[in-house]
Amino acid sequence: MDASNKHEDAGKTLEAQAKAFFDSAPPLHNSHKISQDLNHFIQHNSSSLENGEARRIVCVTSGGTTAPLEQRCVRYVDNFSSGHRGATSTEYFLKAGYAVIFLHRRGSFQPFCRSLPDDPLLECFEPTNDLNIQVREAYSEAVKRAYMNHHTAVEGCLLLKLPFSTIFEYLQMLQMIAISMRCVGPRAMFYLAAAVSDYYVPWKDMVEHKIQSGSHLLDVKLVQVPKMLSVLRKDWAPQAFCISFKLETDSSILLNKANAALDKYNMHAVVANELLTRKERVVVVTSAEKITVLRDNSESANDVEDPLIKLLSERHTAYIEDSSR
Ligand code: 9Z3
Protein backbone atom coordinates (compact mmCIF):
# COMPACT_ATOMS: atom_id res chain seq x y z
CA MET A 1 0.00 0.00 0.00
CA ASP A 2 1.46 3.40 -0.89
CA ALA A 3 1.38 6.47 1.32
CA SER A 4 -1.57 8.06 -0.49
CA ASN A 5 -3.73 4.94 -0.04
CA LYS A 6 -2.78 4.76 3.60
CA HIS A 7 -3.81 8.35 4.09
CA GLU A 8 -7.08 7.67 2.30
CA ASP A 9 -7.85 4.68 4.53
CA ALA A 10 -6.96 6.43 7.77
CA GLY A 11 -9.44 9.19 6.94
CA LYS A 12 -12.34 6.78 6.38
CA THR A 13 -14.89 6.03 9.06
CA LEU A 14 -14.79 2.56 10.49
CA GLU A 15 -17.98 1.68 8.58
CA ALA A 16 -16.35 2.76 5.33
CA GLN A 17 -13.21 0.75 6.14
CA ALA A 18 -15.34 -2.31 6.91
CA LYS A 19 -17.28 -1.87 3.68
CA ALA A 20 -14.06 -1.51 1.68
CA PHE A 21 -12.73 -4.70 3.32
CA PHE A 22 -15.83 -6.72 2.39
CA ASP A 23 -16.16 -5.22 -1.10
CA SER A 24 -12.61 -6.20 -1.99
CA ALA A 25 -12.53 -9.63 -0.26
CA PRO A 26 -12.69 -12.75 -2.44
CA PRO A 27 -16.26 -14.10 -2.21
CA LEU A 28 -16.95 -17.06 0.09
CA HIS A 29 -17.23 -20.28 -1.94
CA ASN A 30 -20.15 -21.80 -0.09
CA SER A 31 -22.02 -18.79 1.25
CA HIS A 32 -25.42 -20.11 0.14
CA LYS A 33 -25.01 -23.39 2.04
CA ILE A 34 -23.62 -21.59 5.12
CA SER A 35 -26.57 -19.23 5.10
CA GLN A 36 -29.06 -22.13 4.81
CA ASP A 37 -27.39 -24.06 7.64
CA LEU A 38 -27.31 -20.96 9.83
CA ASN A 39 -30.95 -20.09 9.28
CA HIS A 40 -32.05 -23.64 9.96
CA PHE A 41 -29.94 -23.84 13.13
CA ILE A 42 -31.15 -20.51 14.50
CA GLN A 43 -34.79 -21.20 13.70
CA HIS A 44 -34.62 -24.64 15.27
CA ASN A 45 -33.10 -23.27 18.46
CA SER A 46 -35.44 -20.30 18.68
CA SER A 47 -38.53 -22.39 19.37
CA SER A 48 -39.46 -22.65 23.02
CA LEU A 49 -38.08 -25.30 25.35
CA GLU A 50 -40.33 -27.27 27.72
CA ASN A 51 -40.05 -24.50 30.34
CA GLY A 52 -41.43 -21.98 27.83
CA GLU A 53 -38.10 -20.20 27.38
CA ALA A 54 -36.11 -20.23 24.15
CA ARG A 55 -32.58 -21.63 24.10
CA ARG A 56 -29.61 -19.29 24.25
CA ILE A 57 -27.26 -19.37 21.28
CA VAL A 58 -23.54 -18.63 21.45
CA CYS A 59 -21.12 -18.12 18.58
CA VAL A 60 -17.71 -19.39 19.73
CA THR A 61 -14.80 -18.34 17.51
CA SER A 62 -11.69 -20.47 17.74
CA GLY A 63 -8.19 -20.81 16.28
CA GLY A 64 -6.10 -18.29 14.34
CA THR A 65 -6.84 -16.60 11.04
CA THR A 66 -4.29 -16.55 8.21
CA ALA A 67 -3.37 -13.54 6.09
CA PRO A 68 -2.40 -14.86 2.62
CA LEU A 69 0.50 -13.25 0.76
CA GLU A 70 -0.49 -14.52 -2.69
CA GLN A 71 -3.95 -14.91 -4.29
CA ARG A 72 -3.04 -18.48 -5.30
CA CYS A 73 -1.80 -18.88 -1.80
CA VAL A 74 1.42 -20.75 -1.06
CA ARG A 75 2.53 -18.57 1.87
CA TYR A 76 0.66 -16.79 4.60
CA VAL A 77 1.12 -14.99 7.93
CA ASP A 78 -0.48 -17.03 10.69
CA ASN A 79 -1.80 -16.25 14.17
CA PHE A 80 -1.05 -18.36 17.18
CA SER A 81 -4.00 -20.36 18.55
CA SER A 82 -4.40 -24.12 18.82
CA GLY A 83 -8.18 -23.83 19.20
CA HIS A 84 -8.06 -25.51 22.61
CA ARG A 85 -9.84 -22.61 24.33
CA GLY A 86 -12.66 -22.51 21.79
CA ALA A 87 -13.15 -26.28 21.61
CA THR A 88 -13.15 -26.69 25.40
CA SER A 89 -15.46 -23.73 25.92
CA THR A 90 -17.88 -25.18 23.36
CA GLU A 91 -18.18 -28.35 25.44
CA TYR A 92 -19.01 -26.32 28.58
CA PHE A 93 -21.47 -24.07 26.73
CA LEU A 94 -23.32 -27.17 25.49
CA LYS A 95 -23.33 -28.52 29.04
CA ALA A 96 -24.80 -25.20 30.23
CA GLY A 97 -27.72 -25.60 27.78
CA TYR A 98 -26.56 -23.32 24.95
CA ALA A 99 -26.74 -24.09 21.25
CA VAL A 100 -23.27 -23.38 19.81
CA ILE A 101 -22.12 -22.07 16.44
CA PHE A 102 -18.46 -23.11 16.41
CA LEU A 103 -16.61 -20.86 13.93
CA HIS A 104 -13.19 -22.50 13.87
CA ARG A 105 -9.91 -22.65 11.98
CA ARG A 106 -9.75 -25.73 9.77
CA GLY A 107 -7.57 -28.38 11.41
CA SER A 108 -7.63 -26.82 14.91
CA PHE A 109 -8.84 -28.58 18.10
CA GLN A 110 -12.44 -29.82 17.95
CA PRO A 111 -14.99 -30.18 20.77
CA PHE A 112 -15.01 -33.60 22.50
CA CYS A 113 -11.82 -34.74 20.76
CA ARG A 114 -9.30 -33.33 23.22
CA SER A 115 -8.61 -36.65 24.94
CA LEU A 116 -7.83 -38.40 21.66
CA PRO A 117 -4.22 -38.68 20.40
CA ASP A 118 -2.89 -36.31 17.71
CA ASP A 119 -3.49 -38.77 14.93
CA PRO A 120 -6.61 -40.63 16.10
CA LEU A 121 -7.22 -42.49 12.85
CA LEU A 122 -3.84 -44.21 12.99
CA GLU A 123 -3.45 -44.48 16.75
CA CYS A 124 -6.95 -45.41 17.98
CA PHE A 125 -7.66 -48.26 15.57
CA GLU A 126 -6.08 -51.62 14.79
CA PRO A 127 -6.78 -54.35 12.25
CA THR A 128 -8.46 -57.54 13.44
CA ASN A 129 -7.44 -61.01 12.21
CA ASP A 130 -10.04 -60.90 9.43
CA LEU A 131 -8.69 -57.49 8.37
CA ASN A 132 -11.57 -55.50 9.72
CA ILE A 133 -10.81 -52.51 11.93
CA GLN A 134 -11.52 -52.20 15.65
CA VAL A 135 -10.87 -49.59 18.31
CA ARG A 136 -7.81 -50.35 20.45
CA GLU A 137 -8.73 -51.31 24.00
CA ALA A 138 -6.75 -48.37 25.47
CA TYR A 139 -8.82 -45.83 23.54
CA SER A 140 -12.20 -47.51 23.50
CA GLU A 141 -13.76 -45.34 26.27
CA ALA A 142 -12.33 -42.07 24.88
CA VAL A 143 -13.46 -42.83 21.31
CA LYS A 144 -16.95 -43.88 22.43
CA ARG A 145 -17.36 -40.75 24.58
CA ALA A 146 -16.09 -38.42 21.84
CA TYR A 147 -18.32 -40.03 19.24
CA MET A 148 -21.47 -40.04 21.40
CA ASN A 149 -21.09 -36.47 22.69
CA HIS A 150 -20.30 -35.09 19.26
CA HIS A 151 -23.04 -37.08 17.54
CA THR A 152 -25.66 -36.06 20.13
CA ALA A 153 -24.77 -32.37 19.80
CA VAL A 154 -24.65 -32.27 15.99
CA GLU A 155 -27.65 -34.53 15.33
CA GLY A 156 -29.64 -32.70 18.01
CA CYS A 157 -28.98 -29.44 16.13
CA LEU A 158 -27.16 -28.01 19.15
CA LEU A 159 -23.75 -27.70 17.49
CA LEU A 160 -23.08 -26.14 14.09
CA LYS A 161 -19.45 -26.30 12.98
CA LEU A 162 -18.25 -23.76 10.40
CA PRO A 163 -14.59 -23.81 9.30
CA PHE A 164 -12.42 -20.90 8.09
CA SER A 165 -8.77 -20.45 7.17
CA THR A 166 -8.21 -16.85 6.04
CA ILE A 167 -9.07 -13.51 7.60
CA PHE A 168 -11.36 -12.93 4.58
CA GLU A 169 -13.38 -16.09 5.27
CA TYR A 170 -13.46 -15.47 9.03
CA LEU A 171 -14.81 -11.92 8.88
CA GLN A 172 -17.34 -12.68 6.15
CA MET A 173 -18.65 -15.64 8.13
CA LEU A 174 -18.70 -13.72 11.42
CA GLN A 175 -20.75 -11.01 9.72
CA MET A 176 -23.20 -13.58 8.30
CA ILE A 177 -23.59 -15.27 11.70
CA ALA A 178 -24.07 -11.98 13.55
CA ILE A 179 -26.69 -10.69 11.13
CA SER A 180 -28.54 -14.03 11.20
CA MET A 181 -28.46 -13.95 15.02
CA ARG A 182 -30.03 -10.49 15.26
CA CYS A 183 -33.46 -12.11 15.67
CA VAL A 184 -32.18 -13.91 18.78
CA GLY A 185 -31.83 -10.52 20.52
CA PRO A 186 -30.18 -10.58 23.96
CA ARG A 187 -30.23 -14.40 24.09
CA ALA A 188 -27.35 -14.33 21.60
CA MET A 189 -23.77 -14.37 22.84
CA PHE A 190 -20.49 -13.87 21.01
CA TYR A 191 -17.46 -15.50 22.64
CA LEU A 192 -14.59 -14.31 20.50
CA ALA A 193 -11.62 -16.50 21.37
CA ALA A 194 -10.16 -16.67 17.85
CA ALA A 195 -6.79 -15.00 17.32
CA VAL A 196 -7.62 -12.63 14.50
CA SER A 197 -4.98 -11.13 12.17
CA ASP A 198 -4.23 -7.50 12.96
CA TYR A 199 -2.61 -6.95 9.55
CA TYR A 200 -3.33 -8.32 6.09
CA VAL A 201 -2.63 -7.76 2.40
CA PRO A 202 -5.78 -6.43 0.67
CA TRP A 203 -6.88 -8.79 -2.12
CA LYS A 204 -6.47 -6.14 -4.81
CA ASP A 205 -2.86 -5.42 -3.72
CA MET A 206 -1.90 -9.10 -3.58
CA VAL A 207 0.18 -10.75 -6.31
CA GLU A 208 -1.63 -13.57 -8.08
CA HIS A 209 1.16 -16.12 -8.32
CA LYS A 210 3.68 -17.55 -5.91
CA ILE A 211 6.26 -14.94 -4.86
CA GLN A 212 9.58 -15.95 -6.39
CA SER A 213 12.62 -16.36 -4.19
CA GLY A 214 15.94 -14.82 -5.18
CA SER A 215 15.91 -11.26 -3.95
CA HIS A 216 17.57 -10.52 -0.63
CA LEU A 217 14.62 -8.61 0.80
CA LEU A 218 10.94 -9.49 0.54
CA ASP A 219 8.98 -6.26 0.60
CA VAL A 220 5.33 -6.96 1.50
CA LYS A 221 3.15 -4.19 2.87
CA LEU A 222 0.51 -5.23 5.35
CA VAL A 223 -2.47 -3.02 6.17
CA GLN A 224 -4.37 -2.91 9.45
CA VAL A 225 -7.54 -5.03 9.49
CA PRO A 226 -10.55 -2.81 10.32
CA LYS A 227 -11.63 -3.27 13.95
CA MET A 228 -14.75 -5.33 13.31
CA LEU A 229 -15.55 -5.82 17.01
CA SER A 230 -16.98 -2.29 17.07
CA VAL A 231 -19.02 -2.96 13.94
CA LEU A 232 -20.32 -6.23 15.40
CA ARG A 233 -21.51 -4.43 18.56
CA LYS A 234 -22.91 -1.41 16.81
CA ASP A 235 -24.39 -2.68 13.57
CA TRP A 236 -24.40 -6.44 13.13
CA ALA A 237 -25.86 -7.67 16.42
CA PRO A 238 -26.38 -4.72 18.76
CA GLN A 239 -28.45 -6.67 21.31
CA ALA A 240 -26.08 -9.62 21.69
CA PHE A 241 -23.94 -10.19 24.80
CA CYS A 242 -20.34 -9.83 23.60
CA ILE A 243 -17.18 -11.25 25.14
CA SER A 244 -13.79 -10.74 23.54
CA PHE A 245 -10.35 -11.98 24.56
CA LYS A 246 -7.10 -10.12 25.09
CA LEU A 247 -3.86 -12.04 24.79
CA GLU A 248 -0.50 -10.64 25.89
CA THR A 249 2.88 -12.13 26.71
CA ASP A 250 3.80 -9.23 29.03
CA SER A 251 1.69 -9.48 32.20
CA SER A 252 2.41 -5.87 33.17
CA ILE A 253 0.33 -4.50 30.29
CA LEU A 254 -2.39 -7.18 30.12
CA LEU A 255 -5.10 -5.68 32.33
CA ASN A 256 -4.69 -2.16 30.95
CA LYS A 257 -4.99 -3.51 27.42
CA ALA A 258 -8.09 -5.52 28.38
CA ASN A 259 -9.66 -2.41 29.93
CA ALA A 260 -8.87 -0.40 26.83
CA ALA A 261 -10.50 -3.08 24.61
CA LEU A 262 -13.58 -3.10 26.85
CA ASP A 263 -14.08 0.63 26.29
CA LYS A 264 -12.95 0.85 22.70
CA TYR A 265 -15.13 -1.98 21.40
CA ASN A 266 -17.93 -1.57 23.94
CA MET A 267 -17.70 -5.23 24.98
CA HIS A 268 -19.72 -6.60 27.90
CA ALA A 269 -16.59 -8.36 29.16
CA VAL A 270 -13.02 -8.96 28.05
CA VAL A 271 -11.25 -12.14 29.10
CA ALA A 272 -7.59 -11.32 29.71
CA ASN A 273 -5.03 -14.10 29.39
CA GLU A 274 -1.30 -14.50 29.27
CA LEU A 275 0.25 -16.88 26.79
CA LEU A 276 2.09 -19.11 29.27
CA THR A 277 -0.62 -19.36 31.91
CA ARG A 278 -3.70 -19.31 29.66
CA LYS A 279 -4.84 -22.80 30.65
CA GLU A 280 -4.53 -22.05 34.39
CA ARG A 281 -5.77 -18.53 34.87
CA VAL A 282 -7.83 -15.83 33.15
CA VAL A 283 -9.22 -12.51 34.37
CA VAL A 284 -12.72 -11.46 33.37
CA VAL A 285 -12.70 -7.68 33.04
CA THR A 286 -16.02 -5.81 33.06
CA SER A 287 -16.74 -2.11 33.59
CA ALA A 288 -17.50 -2.86 37.26
CA GLU A 289 -14.99 -5.53 38.26
CA LYS A 290 -12.05 -7.78 37.55
CA ILE A 291 -12.67 -11.43 38.41
CA THR A 292 -9.79 -13.90 38.46
CA VAL A 293 -10.86 -17.36 37.31
CA LEU A 294 -8.56 -20.26 38.15
CA ARG A 295 -8.43 -23.84 37.01
CA ASP A 296 -9.26 -26.18 39.88
CA ASN A 297 -6.06 -28.22 40.20
CA SER A 298 -7.58 -30.61 42.72
CA GLU A 299 -9.23 -32.51 39.89
CA SER A 300 -7.09 -33.70 37.01
CA ALA A 301 -9.86 -33.42 34.41
CA ASN A 302 -10.71 -29.85 35.24
CA ASP A 303 -10.39 -26.95 32.83
CA VAL A 304 -10.32 -23.21 33.50
CA GLU A 305 -13.16 -23.00 30.96
CA ASP A 306 -15.46 -24.83 33.42
CA PRO A 307 -15.69 -21.97 36.00
CA LEU A 308 -15.27 -19.39 33.20
CA ILE A 309 -18.36 -20.51 31.26
CA LYS A 310 -20.37 -20.83 34.50
CA LEU A 311 -19.52 -17.21 35.31
CA LEU A 312 -20.26 -15.89 31.81
CA SER A 313 -23.49 -17.85 31.59
CA GLU A 314 -24.67 -16.28 34.90
CA ARG A 315 -23.75 -12.83 33.62
CA HIS A 316 -25.60 -13.53 30.41
CA THR A 317 -28.73 -14.54 32.36
CA ALA A 318 -28.60 -11.23 34.25
CA TYR A 319 -28.13 -9.38 30.94
CA ILE A 320 -31.20 -11.07 29.40
CA GLU A 321 -33.29 -10.24 32.50
CA ASP A 322 -32.12 -6.63 32.41
CA SER A 323 -32.93 -6.34 28.71
CA SER A 324 -36.53 -7.43 29.25
CA ARG A 325 -37.23 -4.80 31.92
C1 9Z3 B 1 -7.22 -15.66 23.14
O2 9Z3 B 1 -6.71 -14.87 23.88
C3 9Z3 B 1 -7.31 -17.15 23.42
O4 9Z3 B 1 -7.57 -17.38 24.78
C5 9Z3 B 1 -6.02 -17.92 23.00
C6 9Z3 B 1 -6.28 -19.40 23.26
C7 9Z3 B 1 -5.74 -17.68 21.52
C8 9Z3 B 1 -4.81 -17.47 23.84
P9 9Z3 B 1 -5.51 -21.69 22.34
O10 9Z3 B 1 -6.37 -21.55 21.12
O11 9Z3 B 1 -5.22 -20.21 22.90
O12 9Z3 B 1 -6.21 -22.46 23.44
O13 9Z3 B 1 -4.14 -22.27 22.02
N14 9Z3 B 1 -7.79 -15.25 21.97
C15 9Z3 B 1 -7.80 -13.90 21.48
C16 9Z3 B 1 -6.48 -13.54 20.91
C17 9Z3 B 1 -6.47 -12.22 20.21
O18 9Z3 B 1 -5.82 -12.14 19.22
N19 9Z3 B 1 -7.15 -11.19 20.67
C20 9Z3 B 1 -7.05 -9.86 20.07
C21 9Z3 B 1 -6.03 -9.10 20.87
O22 9Z3 B 1 -5.52 -9.61 21.90
C23 9Z3 B 1 -8.37 -9.18 20.11
S24 9Z3 B 1 -9.43 -9.86 18.89
O25 9Z3 B 1 -5.69 -7.97 20.47
pLDDT digits (tens, 9 = 90+) for 135-144: 999 999 999 9
Q: Of 52-56, 70-74, 189-193, 308-312, which gets the smallest average pLDDT?
A: 52-56
Candidate of 110, 197, 278 to mutate for ligand 1, largest count of ligand atoms within 8 Å of Cβ: 278
- pLDDT of 2 > 70? The answer is no
pLDDT in tens, 241-258: 999 999 999 999 999 999
Q: What is the CATH number of the domain that holds 272?
A: 3.40.50.10300
* Measured distance between the N- and C-terminal CA atoms of the chain, rounded to whole angstroms: 49
In a domain, 223, yes or no: yes
Q: How confident is the model at residue 324 (pLDDT cuts 50, 70, 90)?
A: confident
Query: For 201-219, what is the mean pLDDT?
Result: 92
Res 325: pLDDT: 83
Range of the domain at 323: 240-325
**Burial class, 168, CB count within 10 angstroms (exposed 0-12 / middle 13-18 / buried 19+):** buried
Could you give the percent of the chain with pLDDT greater than 90? 87
The number of domains in the chain is 2
Res 10: pLDDT: 57
201, 310: one domain: no
Res 4: pLDDT: 46
Q: Give residue 138 CA to ligand 1 midpoint distance, Å.
A: 33
Res 298: pLDDT: 82
Is the pTM value of this prediction over 0.85?
A: yes
114 lines ligand 1 (CB under 6 A): no
268, 316: one domain: yes
Q: Contact 105/63 with Cβ under 8 angstroms?
A: yes
Res 9: pLDDT: 60
In this structure, the residue with its CA closest to atom 21 of ligand 1 is 246
Handedness of CA 106, 84, 149, 128 (dihedral sign): positive
190, 290: one domain: no
Q: Which atom of ligand 1 is nearest to the CA of 196?
A: 18
66, 35: one domain: yes
Q: Which atom of ligand 1 is nearest to the CA of 229?
A: 24
Q: Contact 269/302 with Cβ under 8 angstroms?
A: no
Res 11: pLDDT: 59
Query: For 212-225, what is the mean pLDDT?
Result: 91
In a domain, 33, yes or no: yes
267, 215: one domain: no
- pLDDT of 309 > 80? The answer is yes
16, 105: one domain: yes
Q: Of 12-16, 96-100, 104-108, 244-248, which gets the smallest average pLDDT?
A: 12-16
pLDDT, the chain, mean: 93
252, 289: one domain: yes
44 lines ligand 1 (CB under 6 A): no
Q: Give residue 274 CA to ligand 1 midpoint distance, Å.
A: 9
Q: Give residue 208 CA to ligand 1 midpoint distance, Å.
A: 30
247 lines ligand 1 (CB under 6 A): yes
Q: Give residue 22 CA to ligand 1 midpoint distance, Å.
A: 23
187, 208: one domain: yes
In a domain, 137, yes or no: no
pLDDT in tens, 257-297: 999 999 999 999 999 999 999 999 999 999 999 999 999 98
Calpha distance 273→249 (Å, rounded): 9
- pLDDT of 6 > 70? The answer is no
Handedness of CA 171, 173, 178, 179 (dihedral sign): positive
Res 1: pLDDT: 42
